[in-house]
Structure 1
Amino acid sequence: MVVSGSETAFIADIVQRVYSELDLKLLSTPTGLTGIETRAEGISSWLRSEQPDHSVVAICGMGGSGKTTLAKYIYNLNKQNFECSSFLEGIENQPGELLGLQKQLLRDKKKRVLIVIDDIDDKDTLNTLVGRKVLHTQSKIIITTRHLSIHTWVGSISYGCTVHKIELLNDHESLELLSYHAFGCKVPMKGFKELAIQLAKYYPLALKVLGSSLSEGQGTRIETWRSTVNSLNSLKADINIKIQGVLQKSSDTLPCESHRELFLHIACLFLGEYANDVKKILEDDCHAESGIVTLINRCLVTDPRVSGNRLAMHKLLQDMARNIVRKDSKDPAEHSRVWRDDECKTLLRNGEAFKTSSLIKMKNLKFLHLSNVKLIQEFSRSKMVEVA
């Protein structure tokens, strides 16, 4: 049977619909997206090109500007046009994923592959992944990064690269995104428009977090909105510091102290861990079962159902939380949480070889995670000690 014209288009449409229904591996993207279709057009056109001038596109922009969301949207839109596809997040913190991708690149070098590598900040990591790999001429790589100079990294290896500087939301789109998360619709509630316009000037992440924090309880009162506007306007700093102020205000206004503590626990100690394991560990102290739901609703933590049942959050939120822990002292011994390997070793050893008996003296210790160690002494004190 030979088909042509409208019949061909009809069959192609059916195939696309069936694929969309059957494909269970599409990435989850945030609700309330605005303006993303036009921002995806250029890169999508490049992905469809059979003879591109370059094999790599780097989506560049500061943290919270929407790079990952755009990359996920483009990936979902185009992955069916490639024989294989991979989307990797947090690659620098997941050696296993890095090795897995290396093996896939070697195995699939004769296939048309689409690879998206999210949040690359290190030239050596990029070089390890694609520096010496010979890919199919129509394979494509998308990178998201904060470094506008990344084209020089790629230029030093074997692929041509173009930089796509992310286009920020315009005033109308920013107001729409803020309104969606604050009011559940695309326009502000009556009486809130002028205040909303004053707040709708930050990057997408900040607008999501700010809108979510103002969507419940006292946040529905116009006095609360006016207070929020005044407090943010009082920050005499550049946009980066003001965005940090937006994020911190949202964590400071969490309804329970236990939820604020839970947010700091997750940011410092439990990112990448299975949510159910963390709930068991922190339920008694932080009411983690309900607390994680609150953090998800406030856009402070990613819903584990879309991140492999593991806890995740935006890098800006992680940095903000860790700065809160560090701000009172530069001495790790005075911090409520310690997560860096070198600082942990210094504190536990205290100039000597580490012994489990040392833990008895740590009266305020609530949780200790040890990796790649062997305990040769018994430890029965009722503290949460996890050995991996």
Structure 2
Amino acid sequence: MPFFFVGAHTAIRLHWRQHLQQLLSVFISFSQQFPINLLHCSSMEMMSYASSSTTTTTRVSQGCDVFLSFRGEDTRTGFTSHLYEALIRKRIRTYKDDWSLEIGNFIAPALLEAIEASRYAVVVLSSNFATSKWCLVEIAKVVECMERRKLNVIPVFYHVSPSDVRHQSNCFEQGFANHEANPEITPQKVATWRSAFAKVGAIKGLHVTPDKNESEIVSEIIRRILQDMQDKSSVNLSHLTKGLVGIESRVNEVINKLNMESNEVRFIGICGMSGIGKTTLAEVVFHVIQHKYQESSFIENIKDISKDHNSDLCKLQQKLLDDVLKGESISVRSVKHGQTLLMTKLRDMKVLIVLDDVNHADQFMYLAGGREWFGAGTRIIVTTTNADLLNAYRVNETFMCEELKGEEALRLFCQSAFVDGHPKHGYENLSDDIVKYTGGLPIALTVYGSLLYGKEEKYWKDMLKKVQEYQHKEVLGRLEVGYVRLDRHQQLTFMYIACFLKGRDKELVEDILTDIGMHSESGITDLINKFLIAIKFDDCVWMHDLLQQMCWEVLRRESQQCNGKQIAIKHRHDVLDILSSKPTVCLRFFTKSI
């Protein structure tokens, strides 16, 4: 319920105006004493929290798409390296043994597990392949999975004859002879290896000869894999969304907004607050549809990468060009030069590009400045916490990410908290309480589920108390990234609402903010467009509970740094206590006087 009835309008304004003016005087006092860079000490922590949400695509689903089997001394630094890099550019999750997981006299279980978890195996058969018993163990496992219809195999005959592979002749003959002469290897095992070798040699693969262009072979391998993914698109979506609750309907909605049949160049936005799942959604959509485009590029975590405007934007332009112009040697000298290259090189290409976590107009301008930059049928997907950017660049459609509701929120939490994904007997009410407190925010559901996994009931009860008093730093850290991006006046407005005005009538909030000299209407609109507040519940100003607690944590942390005392903030009254007892409280997020 709102803290006040809206009735006694004038009295309420006078009452809260006094408190807000006191808070404002503290801000000004500190600004004059401590001209410190905005949240400097905690910003690096926030970057680490943010970067952890944009790790490799392994978070899309367990396992990987492709297992690379090869003889390291033959192709690791050449063909296999180029193939691996090309697969990664296409966002095809690939397992490659970079560190030779051969330990003692056995092959590391991780390799065999990776084969089991993969959908495709690319076996690069080179002249010394059969000299390694570990390579032969791999190929035997590959054939075993293939015969169980769990694995598609693409052989690459690298400077060797397919006939020699089938018959283990010429360059392969001595390798098998050595294994047969080894008393530690049984004849049955060698026979299994020979059989697997022959079966892979009988598959129609790709033959790399000295006179062939290896980059064309790499492109053909990727084309085959993506084509097969297309033929199994419904299965592919199910595979990609394994473990991701409620995402399939969202993926299909975004794909519908992309209007794949149209030849126009379309920009699609994915919006929502930090931690809501925008990047994960974009990643799955990208993976599902990328086979429909000549080339594709996923530029992630743009906000954090492009801190140094010119040099970092150049790096992003370079990555985009490298992804879509494989084989061309192009060097971006400046952002203007990169802009020109993108306009001239991509205007006849049908490409798929994801710009993830955009927070500034320049990122838009220099990476995808206009529809005329791209060929017919191109699709640009942009994820952001700032709806104003999407409106400014007139995106064709926008998908709004929302919190998970009811059963979906409980399912996501239980996937992290319990072995079988369902609440244990006696934990049902505790699970419901924690899910309710997270407000359906995916990052919070996942973090708390992981923290509680395998723990006893007493630990759960203790954690629930802590959650109600003080959110886990990873959750608050992810949310604070959105707060740090605000300008000074937006931060002031946001802090006032979090501390005093949440749940109040919108008109009352605007009047109070105007009374203390804030640009109330534009400030509220800015925060709405950045998904930090909303207007709901009979025209009242609403804020997610976790965002409110993040604001309290900022205030608590800065107060403690100044006063040297631990201060618990559980309610707006605690904020008033700080202001009345410590008038010189430190709030470092304000750097200039008003």
Shift of 1:106: 3.8
Q: So what's the TM-score if we normalise by structure 2?
A: 0.35
Shift of 1:107: 1.8
Residues 91-240 of structure 1 aligned to structure 2 (within 5 Å): 91-92=302-303, 93-94=305-306, 95=312, 96-100=314-318, 101=320, 102=338, 103-104=341-342, 106-132=344-370, 134-155=373-394, 160-201=395-436, 202=438, 203-216=441-454, 220-233=455-468, 235=469
Larger RCO: 1 or 2 (CA < 8 Å, sep 6+) = 2
Unaligned runs of 5+ in 1: 1-12, 236-244, 253-315, 332-388
Residue of 90, 101, 126 corresponding to 2:301: 90
Q: Is the alpha carbon distance of 1:44 and 1:105 closer, same or farther for their aligned partners in structure 2, counting shifts above 3 Å? A: farther
The CA distance in 2 between the partners of 1:117 and 1:199, in whole Å, is 33
Structure with greater Cα Rg: 2
The CA distance in 2 between the partners of 1:135 and 1:206, in whole Å, is 38
- Length, aligned pairs only: 233
The CA distance in 1 between the partners of 2:465 and 2:226, in whole Å, is 54
Residues 1-388 of structure 1 aligned to structure 2 (within 5 Å): 16-17=227-228, 32-47=243-258, 49-51=260-262, 55-92=266-303, 93-94=305-306, 95=312, 96-100=314-318, 101=320, 102=338, 103-104=341-342, 106-132=344-370, 134-155=373-394, 160-201=395-436, 202=438, 203-216=441-454, 220-233=455-468, 235=469, 245-248=470-473, 328-329=560-561
- Contact kept, 8 Å, 1:120 with 1:145, in 2: the verdict is yes
Q: What is the DSSP-based 3-state SS (H/G/I as helix, E as strand, rest coil) of the residue aligned with 1:246? A: coil
2:472 partner letter: L
Q: Is the alpha carbon distance of 1:80 and 1:327 closer, same or farther for their aligned partners in structure 2, counting shifts above 3 Å? A: farther
- Contact kept, 8 Å, 2:360 with 2:389, in 1: the verdict is no
Q: Which has the higher helix share?
A: 2
Q: So what's the TM-score if we normalise by structure 1?
A: 0.52
1:99 partner letter: Q
Q: Is the alpha carbon distance of 1:50 and 1:65 closer, same or farther for their aligned partners in structure 2, counting shifts above 3 Å? A: same
What is the RMSD computed on CA atoms of the aligned residues? 3.8
1:89 partner letter: E
- Contact kept, 8 Å, 1:88 with 1:116, in 2: the verdict is yes
2:386 partner letter: H
Q: Is the alpha carbon distance of 1:247 and 1:161 closer, same or farther for their aligned partners in structure 2, counting shifts above 3 Å? A: farther
Shift of 1:48: 5.0
Shift of 1:44: 1.4
The CA distance in 1 between the partners of 2:384 and 2:356, in whole Å, is 7
Q: Is the alpha carbon distance of 1:223 and 1:52 closer, same or farther for their aligned partners in structure 2, counting shifts above 3 Å? A: farther
- Contact kept, 8 Å, 2:346 with 2:373, in 1: the verdict is no
- Contact kept, 8 Å, 2:264 with 2:377, in 1: the verdict is no
- Contact kept, 8 Å, 1:46 with 1:52, in 2: the verdict is no
Unaligned runs of 5+ in 2: 1-223, 307-311, 321-337, 478-546, 564-594
User: What's 2:488 paired with?
Assistant: none
Q: What is the DSSP-based 3-state SS (H/G/I as helix, E as strand, rest coil) of the residue aligned with 1:174? A: helix
The CA distance in 1 between the partners of 2:225 and 2:561, in whole Å, is 62
1:74 partner letter: V
The CA distance in 2 between the partners of 1:175 and 1:17, in whole Å, is 35
- Contact kept, 8 Å, 1:177 with 1:208, in 2: the verdict is yes
- Contact kept, 8 Å, 1:154 with 1:161, in 2: the verdict is no
Shift of 1:231: 3.0
**Over residues 40-98 of structure 1, what are the superposed CA-to-partner deviations in whole Å (9 max), with x where a residue is unaligned?**
11221343523277711110000000101100010101111111111111224251432
